[in-house]
């Protein structure tokens, strides 16, 4: 028997479904549509070392980010591409446990790095006449704060707001070989001018060395595919060449006339196979660039363009250097957020920083932090919209 309920309601539901699908296909003229999904926050709920881990979502209306207090990681960063489609521009996983399982690729994905980002030669440095020994986790050097660096720690969540989250970590005196109780606060904010801003603050009770950064792996086309066709510009006319173990030789060399010249926009892969000893040492780009700083405070350090998405990202920082790492050590074998493996050079990192091995290179800007001083630094990943 014909009833209103049996016939009209299903028809109305069908109509509603069609109109939703239609508004997605009309995307570009209408509201932005999301292709990738935010990871399920349930997959990030855990108690680690007695601390609660969760996934937090922040938004500024046009962009959305997911951050977990495990390693202070940026898990997802959605920005609209030139047609309004929402693209997740950072690599990561759908489950907290994947970050532990896929240590080869994923151990630093999106993570906060400390106490010392990048390498310290042979894991040794001397401060105020005392020599400190750090664990060697990237033989023969110590990398990214050691095997139990900040990327492996659970951060305390101090404050959240719709567009920001503040994290805190107390790195105890002697942790991973570094002196001093170091209190670090990091605030991620999605600003009104389309930026993911990362603000770092640190104090210590004993002289120590410090180099804080974020290790996000960007692919401006979204998940999968090489970044070799992305374009890159670096505001750096010099870089710090390295030895075969990726420790700076101590010289600042001009990039002019070398594959390291990104002072004008260049396709990343265009010179990557050039016969060049520095490229051989890094297995591609894995070098610190000396930023041409003309103003105090945040300045434009780098610009990247996604070749397929048209997304343009600008990196601003007040730090003296930026590590351009082209994903040379990525190996596949894992499953990323979209299910595809993260193969060699499917992402790039632009780690704003002090120069690697500064504690052993007195001619480099100092990385020493003393009691009574406050380290403050800001880096912003800003997206150019409505072109
Ligand atoms: C940094 C280093 C690279 C590599 C990555 C992580 O960028 O410079 O050599 O260790 O981190 O894989």
> Is 212 part of a structural domain of the chain?
yes
CA-closest residue to ligand 1 atom 7: 325
Ligand 1 pocket test, pick from 73, 103, 140, 143 with the greatest ligand atom count within 8 Å of Cβ, gives 143
CA 139 to ligand 1 center in whole angstroms: 13
Q: What is the CA radius of gyration of the chain?
A: 22
> Is 251 part of a structural domain of the chain?
yes
In whole angstroms, give the CA distance from residue 247 to residue 288.
10
- pLDDT attached to residue 323: 98
Contact 307, 351 (CB under 8 A): no
Q: Which residue numbers in the chain have pLDDT < 70?
A: 1-36, 223, 386-387
Active site residue ranges: 215, 351
Instruction: Give just the sign of the alpha carbon dihedral 165, 56, 222, 349.
Output: positive
Per the structure, the count of domains in the chain is 1
> Is 102 part of a structural domain of the chain?
no
> Is 121 part of a structural domain of the chain?
yes
CA 7 to ligand 1 center in whole angstroms: 61
Ligand 1 and 217: CB distance under 6 A: no
Does the N-terminal peptide bond of residue 115 adopt cis geometry, omega within 30 degrees of 0?
A: yes
In whole angstroms, give the CA distance from residue 387 to residue 385.
6
- Domain extent, residue 128, equals 111-151+174-384
Give the nearest ligand 1 atom to 351 CA. 7
- pLDDT attached to residue 386: 63
* Closest C-alpha to 119, from 366, 323, 261: 323
Ligand 1 and 118: CB distance under 6 A: yes
Ligand 1 and 349: CB distance under 6 A: yes
> Is 137 part of a structural domain of the chain?
yes
CA-closest residue to ligand 1 atom 6: 108
Give the nearest ligand 1 atom to 349 CA. 7
Ligand 1 and 316: CB distance under 6 A: no
For 94-133, b/e burial (b = at least 16 CB within 10 A) is: bbbebbeebeebbbbbbbbbbbbbbbbbbbbbebeeeebe
In whole angstroms, give the CA distance from residue 62 to residue 55.
20
Please report, for the domain that includes residue 277, its CATH number: 2.70.98.10
DSSP state of 355: P
Q: Is 144 helix (H, G, I), strand (E, B) or coil?
A: coil
In whole angstroms, give the CA distance from residue 158 to residue 162.
14
CA 273 to ligand 1 center in whole angstroms: 19
Does the N-terminal peptide bond of residue 140 adopt cis geometry, omega within 30 degrees of 0?
A: yes
Give this prediction's pTM.
Answer: 0.91
Residue 345, burial from CB neighbour count under 10 angstroms (0-12, 13-18, 19+): buried
> Is 76 part of a structural domain of the chain?
no
> Is 215 part of a structural domain of the chain?
yes
Give the β-pairing of 208-209 and 368-369. Answer: antiparallel
CA-closest residue to ligand 1 atom 5: 325
Give the nearest ligand 1 atom to 329 CA. 12
CA 355 to ligand 1 center in whole angstroms: 13
> Is 333 part of a structural domain of the chain?
yes
């Amino acid at each position: 028997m014909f009833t209103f309920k049996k016939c009209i309601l299903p028809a109305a539901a069908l109509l509603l479904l069609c109109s939703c699908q239609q508004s997605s296909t009309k995307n570009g003229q209408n509201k932005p549509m999301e292709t990738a999904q935010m990871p399920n926050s349930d997959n990030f709920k855990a108690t680690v070392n007695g601390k609660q881990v969760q996934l937090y979502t922040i938004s500024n209306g046009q962009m959305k980010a997911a951050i977990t207090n495990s390693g202070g990681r940026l898990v997802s960063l959605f920005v609209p591409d030139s047609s309004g489609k929402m693209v997740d521009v950072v690599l990561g996983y759908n489950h907290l446990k994947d970050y532990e399982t896929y240590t080869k690729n994923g151990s630093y994905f999106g993570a906060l790095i400390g106490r010392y980002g990048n390498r310290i030669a042979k894991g040794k440095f001397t401060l105020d006449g005392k020599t400190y020994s750090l664990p060697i986790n990237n033989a023969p050097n110590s990398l990214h704060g050691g095997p139990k660096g900040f990327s492996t720690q659970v951060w305390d969540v101090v404050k959240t707001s719709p567009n920001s989250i503040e994290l805190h970590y107390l790195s105890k005196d002697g942790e991973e070989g570094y002196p001093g109780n170091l209190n670090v606060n990091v605030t991620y904010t999605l600003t009104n001018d389309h930026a993911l801003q990362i603000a770092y603050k640190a104090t210590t009770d004993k002289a120590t060395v410090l180099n804080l950064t974020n290790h996000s792996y960007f692919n401006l086309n979204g998940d999968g595919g090489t970044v070799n066709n992305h374009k890159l510009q670096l505001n750096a006319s010099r870089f710090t060449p390295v030895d075969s173990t990726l420790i700076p030789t101590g010289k600042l060399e001009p990039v002019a006339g070398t594959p390291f010249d990104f002072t004008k926009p260049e396709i990343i892969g265009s010179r990557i196979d050039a016969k060049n000893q520095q490229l051989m040492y890094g297995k591609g780009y894995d070098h610190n660039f000396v930023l041409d700083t003309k103003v105090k405070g945040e300045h434009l350090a780098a610009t990247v363009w996604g070749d397929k998405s048209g997304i343009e990202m600008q990196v601003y920082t007040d730090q003296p250097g930026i590590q351009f790492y082209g994903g040379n050590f990525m190996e596949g074998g894992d499953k990323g957020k979209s299910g595809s493996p993260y193969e060699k050079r499917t992402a790039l990192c632009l780690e704003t920083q002090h120069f690697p091995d500064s504690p052993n290179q007195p001619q480099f800007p100092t990385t020493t932090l003393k009691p009574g001083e406050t380290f403050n630094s800001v880096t912003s990943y800003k997206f150019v919209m409505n072109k």
